[in-house]
Amino acid sequence: MTPNLLTPVALLGLGLMYWFPIRRWYRHWGATDTEIDQSMLGRRGYLKPNLRDHAGCHH
Amino acid sequence: MGYRRGGLYSYDWLDRLFGFLDAPSAERVLVEFQRLKVGDVIPVGRGAGFPVKAIEPFRTLVLGGDTNGFQWTWQFGLYLVNGRLTRLVSRNRAHIPTTVGSTLFMCVLEPAAFVMTRKMLLGLKHRAEAAAAQNHDAAKHAA
């Protein structure tokens, strides 16, 4: 691979790493699939969400 | 929770950097601020605060707002696992305008919000466990 291609490929790889495993991990931190799928009170009148994130811990 | 109340239980330096607080979060649960109702607004140092959209005592608190096409809700839920263990879950849902500016803004906001929310949940856990231990000790001494 030529040096000219190395930089964009590395950036693309880093971008994909961030967007899929890393972003997915922090948007679901500690929360179960059931908790993620639950409906939420207080959203009456709001548009369908296009962004969701969750986090959970025990105490 | 909130400005000039218990704080946000996250990283004090980040709360100050973002202008949410001007003092560290309280080290314990402040009993005097535990009565919220729908329509109340939890103040933060910057912006309009966090309006209370729904509340079920000891179960759920939902905050939410609608500003400039950005609609968001933020729920804190308590789920009993067994007699000694409870799960605390934070859930966010938002509808953001589908513009390049909003998308870029969210790309920056998301990881920052995660760092602060994670610390907040751990801060709440720490304070709740301390309060429970204190109540347990007080009951033991009274017996």
Angle at B57 between CA B25 and CA A51, to 5 degrees: 70
pTM to 2 decimals? 0.88
Q: Which residue is it, tokens 């909130």? A: B2
In a domain, B4, yes or no: no
B103-138, pLDDT tens digit by residue? Answer: 899 888 899 999 999 999 999 999 999 998 888 888
Whether B18 and B46 have beta carbons less than 8 Å apart is answered as yes
CB of B65 within 8 Å of a chain A CB? The answer is no
B143/chain A closest Cα distance in angstroms: 26
B97/chain A closest Cα distance in angstroms: 9
ipTM over 0.85: no
In a domain, A55, yes or no: no
Contact B92 A51 (CB under 8 A): yes
The alpha-carbon radius of gyration of chain A (Å, integer) is 18
CB of A24 within 8 Å of a chain B CB? The answer is no
In a domain, A41, yes or no: no
Split into its structural domains, chain A has a count of 1
In a domain, A24, yes or no: yes
In a domain, A56, yes or no: no
In a domain, B110, yes or no: yes
Mean pLDDT of B74-78: 93
- Give residue A35's pLDDT: 87
The enclosing H or E element of B138 equals helix B100-142
Distance separating alpha carbons of residues A42 and B74, to the nearest angstrom: 9
A2-56, pLDDT tens digit by residue? Answer: 778 999 999 999 999 999 999 999 999 999 888 888 888 887 888 888 888 888 8
B94/chain A closest Cα distance in angstroms: 5
Q: What is residue B7's DSSP assignment?
A: B
Instruction: Count other C-beta atoms under 10 Å from residue B63's C-beta.
Output: 23
Contact B95 A46 (CB under 8 A): yes
In a domain, B2, yes or no: no
CB of B88 within 8 Å of a chain A CB? The answer is yes
Distance separating alpha carbons of residues A26 and A18, to the nearest angstrom: 10
- Give residue A53's pLDDT: 85
Both tokens of B103, joined, read 């998308």
User: Which of A22, A38, A40 should one mutate to test binding to chain B, selecting the residue with the greatest count of B CBs within 10 A?
Assistant: A40
In a domain, A2, yes or no: no
Mean pLDDT of B56-78: 92
In a domain, A16, yes or no: yes
A13/chain B closest Cα distance in angstroms: 17
In a domain, A1, yes or no: no
Split into its structural domains, chain B has a count of 1
The enclosing H or E element of B17 equals helix B12-17
In a domain, B21, yes or no: yes
Cβ burial B74-93 (10 Å sphere, 16+ → b, else e) = bbbbbbeeeeeebbbbbbbb
Whether B30 and B43 have beta carbons less than 8 Å apart is answered as no
CB of A8 within 8 Å of a chain B CB? The answer is no
Q: Using CA atoms of B111, B108, B90, A56 in order, give the dihedral in degrees to the nearest 10.
A: -10
Q: Residue B136 sits in which domain range?
A: 12-142
Distance separating alpha carbons of residues A10 and B117, to the nearest angstrom: 30
CB of B66 within 8 Å of a chain A CB? The answer is yes
In a domain, A57, yes or no: no
Q: Which of A18-32, A36-50, B20-34, B63-77 has the lowest mean pLDDT?
A: A36-50
The enclosing H or E element of A10 equals helix A3-17
Chain B residues with CB under 8 Å of A42 CB are: 53-54, 62, 64, 73, 75
Both tokens of B115, joined, read 């760092």
- Give residue A1's pLDDT: 66
In a domain, B90, yes or no: yes
Q: Residue A20 sits in which domain range?
A: 8-32
